[in-house]
Amino acid sequence: MLKLKNVSFAYAEEPILKNIGFTLEKGENLSVIGESGCGKSTLLKLIYGLLHTDGKIFWEEKELLGPNYNLVPGEPFIKYLAQDFDLMLPLSVADNIGKYLSNQFPKKKNNRIKELMQVVEMTELADKKAKLLSGGQQQRVALARALAKQPELLLLDEPFSHIDHFRKNNLRRRLFAYLKENNIACIVATHDITDALSFADKTIVLKNAKIYAENSPSELYEKPPNKYVASLFGDVNELMLKDLVLNENSRKKVILYPEEIKLTQKKGIKAEVKKSWFKGENWLIEANLNGKTIYFNHFQALKERKKVNLRVAEHLIESRLR
């Protein structure tokens, strides 16, 4: 189990993280999200031992002491994949993946390399030199190399940022399934909604150098504590309750995602269409509601200045009151 207690860090006088604390069990996947500069990458570097903190970081009963105590940073049971891949460019894909594997048992080494190339879908490029690979291909090789000497804890900083969208989804499924099968704990620092929602067991939101919210991905998405947390998952509306409910005068607000606001032919919330944005499976409609901009989804584009009636399920309004 990984345990952090009062972990803080600052560059000069500027605090990046303050009194961060959480635990992570073996085999669990934690996503860390937040706006750029909130400290996601710094947190991974602290855990790995590249930066020093006066707080405490433990793996099981072992305290991880960091660069003030270790000449060579890092621990053998932790692997950290940064946003720069640090590959040996003159070497082939297979040689990069197997670089830190022992040559004492060549058959075992080759089998391990083949296994990992399948995980990251690089088998056909085994003999290609790393310098000839695209950025996304290099990122996949770096992922495989991080797994080569199987870690107990894997730290990933934006691990799919260079990978084509059509390949990304399948790769994520294969990678996170592999981690679960092998009981490898993982922390992913990410801006990607899918990383944060689909594969994590729990999610931490960082803001103002602190843990701003912490829960399962489904709880954070379905019951966001505020607009900031909801906005990390995509477009979001923060509306006054009186804009949604007749004869309501309170100052309470309601957080709603575009897919939760529906067009209706019945009497409802009156809005005026401003723009329609094509998003593939549906259209995102931007509209004016009592002088405020609101977003909702619809199966087709709507004409500008069209007057529409909208509805929101009562249970959503009740559960999202703030």
306-320 pLDDT, tens digit each? 999 999 998 998 888
Tell me what the mean pLDDT of segment 39-64 comes to: 94
User: What's the pLDDT tens digit per position in 190-241?
Assistant: 998 888 888 999 999 999 999 999 999 999 999 999 999 999 999 999 999 9
Question: Between residues 11 and 304, which one has the greater pLDDT?
Answer: 304
Query: pTM here?
Result: 0.91
What distances in angstroms separate CA 69 from CA 73, 127, 155, 206, one per listed residue?
9, 40, 21, 28
> Each residue of 249-293: pLDDT tens digit?
888 999 999 999 999 988 889 999 999 999 998 999 999 999 999
Contact in structure between 188 and 29 (CB atoms under 8 Å): yes
Q: Which domains does the chain have, with CATH numbers?
A: 2-227 (3.40.50.300), 235-319 (2.40.50.140)
Report pLDDT for 245: 87
Q: What is the C-alpha to C-alpha distance for residues 252 and 233, in angstroms, rounded to an integer?
A: 22
Q: What backbone torsions phi and psi does residue 157 show, to the nearest 5 degrees?
A: -105, 105
Inter-residue contact 29 to 199 (CB < 8 Å): yes
Return phi, psi of residue 143, to 5°. Answer: -60, -45
Q: How far is residue 45's CA from residue 299's CA, in Å, rounded to a whole number?
A: 44
